[in-house]
Structures are given as C-alpha cells and as structure tokens.
Amino acid sequence: MMPKRKMLIAANWKMNGSQNLTKTLLEGLAVATQGSENEIAVFPPYPYLALTQDILRATPIRFGAQDLSAHDEGAYTGEVSASMLTDMGCYYVLIGHSERRAYHQESNELLLQKYQRASQQGLNPILCLGETQSERNANLTFQVINSQLLPFLTQDYLANMTIAYEPVWAIGTGKTATPDEAQVVHAFIREKIAEKDSSLANKIRILYGGSVKPNNARELFSLPDVDGGLIGGASLKKEEFIQLCRTTKI
C-alpha cells in the first residue's frame, strides 16, 4: 500500500510583514489550527525568526528561513548561516526559490552548497523548482524541472527532502496551474526521484506553489501527487491562510 503523506501547508511571507503582523498572524494561526490534520509551517523574514520562535514554542507549527548562506561562518557580511538558523529553532529552510534564482542568479552549484550546509546542520530543505512562462511556451517544462532537480537526487540528500513545484508564471500572478498541469509535473518529479529510490519517492512530499487561494486549494491539494502547498500572498491574510491550513483532500 502507498504510504499516506501528511500534507504540509507552508507560508512564505517573502519580504513582507512587521513585528505586529508576525504577532497577529501567528497567534491567530496557533489558536485556529489546533488539532489540524495537516502539518503547518511558516517562513518569516530573518528579523522575525526570534519572535516566531517565541510565539510558536508551545505549538506544533514549524518554521524556517527563506534562504541561507552557502558558507559555514566568517566574513560574509549580510549572510545567515545554517547553524544560526538551527540556533533560532528553524526546522525547515527554502532553497532555490525562483525569486532567488532570478534576482540573485543562484545557480545549481550554489544551491547544492546551500543544500549541503542545511543538511549538515540538520535543517530540512525545501527545494523549489519551476519553469518560466517562456520555458513553458517553448515546451521546456520537463527539461527545466529535470535540470533543477537532478543535481539533488543523490542518496545523501534524498532522506529529508521536500520539493516545492512553483511554476514561475503562477507566482503572484493570480494565474494558477490547472489541476492537470500541476499533476503531470508533480508525477514527473516523483518518477525522477523513484528512479533513484522508489520507496523514498513515495514518502517525499511535493508541494504546489503559485497563486494558491482558498477557492482553488482543495482541488489542487486533492491531486494524487500534490502533498500541500507553499503559499505566498494568501499566507499574509490571516483568515485566508487559516482556511488553507484547514483544507483537506477530497
């Protein structure tokens, strides 16, 4: 029998928020999601990690950072290391979000170093993948996903891996992948992982991200190879995110 994967609903706040918003969102979330059958995680900006740790201490809600340094420590002004993140109680870290790939030219090589640092410190990396609109138009979706995924498919990395498929054209645009478009890419990702380790492929969660809202989440989350979502805009609206956290498969 297929192992049942617990859904993960994750909030990527990106560069948004304040201490006040962090408090309002997290205190509301902590109460409203008690007893939730989904796992819930939040990714606030670095300066709010301490406050997040404080508020979430007695809750099952996990949290993480949106990025990390490829270096261990030292003279890297402005960077934040994996050990600092574990020190702050982070459980997860996002790696290779399309905004990092696009605006900071993060290459697979750099992302591999980040992945390695995260794993060495016991952080659980969420590897983000996704094609742009022009890549999709040129029928390059599977090729792009494969090239972003392949370097990470080694035995060293598979065990604690989570994937987020976020088509770049669906991020912040209000344009969501159709269920068919999402499922076929998620199935492709799982198949690629299965070529390395079929039992782990059944356990690894593959989240969908890109304009997920309460009105489209249930259909997306119910797809066989979708195991939750990585939510941007809607995660900053308390009621919407709470609704998303409560969404279950049909």
Q: Give the residue numbers marked as catalytic.
A: 97, 166
Task: Determine, following the binding rule CB under 6 A, whether residue 131 of this chain makes contact with ligand 13P.
Answer: no
Residue 230 Cα to chain centre, angstroms: 5
Q: Where are the alpha helices (DSSP H) in the chain?
A: 19-32, 49-56, 82-87, 98-103, 108-120, 133-137, 141-149, 155-158, 179-196, 198-203, 214-221, 238-245
Lay out the site mask for ligand 13P across 160-179 (x = CB under 6 A, - = otherwise): ------x----xx-------
CA gyration radius for the chain? 17
Nearer to ligand 13P, 193 or 228 (CB): 228
Binding status of residue 125 toward ligand 13P by CB under 6 A = no
As a whole number of angstroms, the distance between CA 173 and CA 169 comes to 7
Contact assessment for residue 94 and residue 126, using Cβ atoms and an 8 Å cutoff: yes
Q: Tell me how far, at minimum, the Cβ of 231 lies from ligand 13P, in Å.
A: 5
Instruction: Tell me the closest approach of the beta carbon of residue 229 to ligand 13P, in angstroms.
Output: 8
Dist CA 114 CA 11 (whole Å): 21
Residue whose CB is less far from ligand 13P, 22 or 235: 235
Residue 145's identity, in one-letter code, is I
Q: Which is nearer to ligand 13P, 115 or 165 (CB)?
A: 165
Total chain residues near ligand 13P (CB under 6 A): 14
Q: Which is nearer to ligand 13P, 57 or 175 (CB)?
A: 175
Site for ligand 13P in 207-246 (CB under 6 A): 209-212, 230-234
Q: Give how far the C-alpha of residue 218 lies from the chain's centroid of Cα atoms, to the nearest Å.
A: 18
Which residues contact ligand 13P by CB under 6 A? 12, 97, 166, 171-172, 209-212, 230-234
